[in-house]
Amino acid sequence: MLHKVSLGIADINKYRMIEARELIDEVVNLAEELKGLRLCHINSTPFGGGVAELLVCHIPLLCSLGIKADWQIIRGDRRFFTITKGLHNALQGAPFEEIKKESIRRVYQTSNLTNARELDPNYDVFIVNDPQPAALRHYLPDSQAKWIWRCHVDSSQPDGTVWNFLRPYIEEYDAAVFTTKEFIPKDLHLAKMVTMAPAICPFSSKNMFIKRYVCRELVENLGFDTNRLLITQVSRFDRWKDPFGTIAAYKLAKEKIPGLQLGMIGTFAPDDPESWDMHAAISAEANKDPDIFVFSNLTGVGNMEVNAFQRASDVIVQKSIREGFGLVVAEALWKETPVVAGNAGGIPLQMTGELSNYLVDSVEECAEKIVYLLENPAVSKRLGEEGREIVRRNFLSPRLIRDELRLIKSLVGK
Ligand code: UDP
């Protein structure tokens, strides 16, 4: 049997302190109509990256609402995850020629078939996240459940060969979900295609309130000088997050702000074999400057520490060149920390109004905006406050639960 992730308990009523009453009432009512529904999310890793982050919060909240929600993780060996990382990259537009080889396709197919046989099938609705498990539905043709494919990446311009390989699997689903309508590939044909943005949990250890002095102490204990300015990027060790662009922007900014420090916080995920090489390359670059620090989940920089960095940093940088959504942006804005981020994928959804002035298309622009914010703390403060309000209104868990339950209701015919 596939592994089911066991999680804590949540309480939707906690959100009444921060969310509009109508939203919470709608969520509660929808859940009441769907009470007892057996729902299962499936993905390829229980930690490291946005989907895992999202489900850790999402599943307990669904359970607290009376939905019988579970989360199953598919298995795969290094070969499978190397291929699926290629598929992930290709959905974001990078070529992945290997998929033309029958042997490579077979690894993906066989692994999905094995996982399909090990899946607990006793659910009314499955939500399959991202390309790794996308073929599961194909290998369970007799399933009476409703199947939803949830794409978390920017699939607006996928590599043609890979897309032609994946598309028939996805077209077997009852519905597909994308973060914005721009991400829906033009030739995808499905009866139901909807958009919903991801969301963060304000009560998780990643996002809960921590007093500033504690954050500063945490960061200080890791070697930072809290009397000097600090900028941080938090992301998987992944080429699309443009870590070298961030380091280059930091170096340019440092010419204007001597003593500036950079934190590069990253995760290794079991489904991402590329992260090791990327981590080594980033560390090699960081070793050239004593004010650049690289930390990861492998050395104990977990949710609380990320929370502390997002609060203690003067600016959070997320210089992505492709980005499905970028939970890290919402996380930083929720903490009222200003963000300079790549003008890519789902990031502009979060950085609207005045915040959009800090969406960047180049290293130079990134450095210029970082310097401006560091030199103008009053502007940073205003942007942080605006950012928190944008997140409060749009990107907290109950809104995502509502969107998901609305979709499920439309599919199960209640
Ligand atoms: N994250 C983390 N530690 C790290 C790097 C990332 O906990 O060292 C978390 C981050 O806080 C966020 C998630 O991983 O919750 C990344 O999600 P995002 O949507 O930004 O990017 P993805 O990894 O899904 O591409």
> For position 359, which CATH number holds?
3.40.50.2000
Q: With 80 as the cut, is the pLDDT of residue 79 above it?
A: yes
| Ligand 1 centroid, distance to 146 Cα (angstroms) | 29
Q: Does 328 sit in the ligand 1 pocket, CB within 6 Å?
A: yes
Give the Cα separation of 356 and 349 in Å (integer).
9
**Count of C-beta atoms within a 10 Å radius of residue 280:** 11
Place 9 in a pLDDT band, splitting at 50, 70 and 90: confident
Tokens standing for residue 99: 């998929």
**Which amino acid would we find at residue 304?**
M
Atom of ligand 1 nearest to the CA of 328: 20
Whether 159 and 220 share a structural domain:
no
End-to-end CA distance of the chain: 30
Whether 388 and 407 share a structural domain:
no
Atom of ligand 1 nearest to the CA of 54: 15
Whether 175 and 270 share a structural domain:
no
Contact 225, 258 (CB under 8 A): no
Q: Does 325 sit in the ligand 1 pocket, CB within 6 Å?
A: yes
204 located within any domain: no
Between strands 230-234 and 146-150, the pairing is: unpaired
Percent of the chain with pLDDT over 70: 100
Give me the number of domains the chain comprises: 2
The whole-number average pLDDT for the span 27-31 is 98
Q: Does 265 sit in the ligand 1 pocket, CB within 6 Å?
A: yes
The whole-number average pLDDT for the span 193-207 is 97
95-109 confidence digits (pLDDT tens): 999 999 999 999 999
Q: Does 230 sit in the ligand 1 pocket, CB within 6 Å?
A: no
Question: What is the pLDDT, as a whole number, of residue 312?
Answer: 98
Atom of ligand 1 nearest to the CA of 234: 5
269-304 confidence digits (pLDDT tens): 889 999 999 999 999 999 999 999 999 998 899 999
Backbone angles phi, psi at 242, to 5 degrees: 50, 55
161 located within any domain: yes
| Ligand 1 mutation target, pool 44, 267, 298, 339, most atoms within 8 A of CB | 267
Domain boundaries, position 44: 3-199+396-412
Q: Does 204 sit in the ligand 1 pocket, CB within 6 Å?
A: no
CA R_g for the chain: 21
Q: With 80 as the cut, is the pLDDT of residue 414 above it?
A: no
| Ligand 1 mutation target, pool 44, 47, 53, most atoms within 8 A of CB | 53
Question: What is the pLDDT, as a whole number, of residue 269?
Answer: 87
Q: In what order do the strands lie in the sheet with 261-266?
A: 292-296, 261-266, 230-234, 315-318, 339-342, 359-360
Whether 131 and 259 share a structural domain:
no
Q: Does 306 sit in the ligand 1 pocket, CB within 6 Å?
A: yes
Whether 113 and 125 share a structural domain:
yes
> DSSP strand E in 268-373: where?
292-296, 315-318, 339-342, 359-360
205 located within any domain: no
Whether 348 and 400 share a structural domain:
no
Whether 191 and 220 share a structural domain:
no
Whether 311 and 363 share a structural domain:
yes
Q: With 70 as the cut, is the pLDDT of residue 249 above it?
A: yes
Which candidate, 208, 92, 217, places its Cα nearest to that of 155?
92
121 located within any domain: yes
Task: Provide the β-strand partners of residue 264.
Answer: 233, 294
Q: Does 345 sit in the ligand 1 pocket, CB within 6 Å?
A: no
- Which residues are CB-contacts of 222 (< 8 A; sequence separation ≥ 6)? 293, 295, 301, 305
Question: What is the pLDDT, as a whole number, of residue 202?
Answer: 97
Whether 56 and 173 share a structural domain:
yes
Whether 308 and 188 share a structural domain:
no
Q: With 70 as the cut, is the pLDDT of residue 402 above it?
A: yes
207 located within any domain: no
Q: With 90 as the cut, is the pLDDT of residue 369 above it?
A: yes
> DSSP strand E in 267-319: where?
292-296, 315-318
30 located within any domain: yes
Which residue lies with its CA nearest to atom 10 of ligand 1? Answer: 328
Question: What is the pLDDT, as a whole number, of residue 270?
Answer: 87
**Which amino acid would we find at residue 176?**
A
206 located within any domain: no
Q: Does 111 sit in the ligand 1 pocket, CB within 6 Å?
A: no
| Ligand 1 centroid, distance to 55 Cα (angstroms) | 12
The whole-number average pLDDT for the span 250-256 is 98
Q: With 70 as the cut, is the pLDDT of residue 328 above it?
A: yes
What integer best gives the mean pLDDT of the chain?
Answer: 97
Whether 336 and 282 share a structural domain:
yes
Atom of ligand 1 nearest to the CA of 49: 23
Place 413 in a pLDDT band, splitting at 50, 70 and 90: confident
Task: Provide the β-strand partners of residue 317.
Answer: 340
Q: Does 326 sit in the ligand 1 pocket, CB within 6 Å?
A: yes
Q: Does 143 sit in the ligand 1 pocket, CB within 6 Å?
A: no
232 located within any domain: yes
Whether 227 and 188 share a structural domain:
no
Give the Cα separation of 343 and 341 in Å (integer).
6
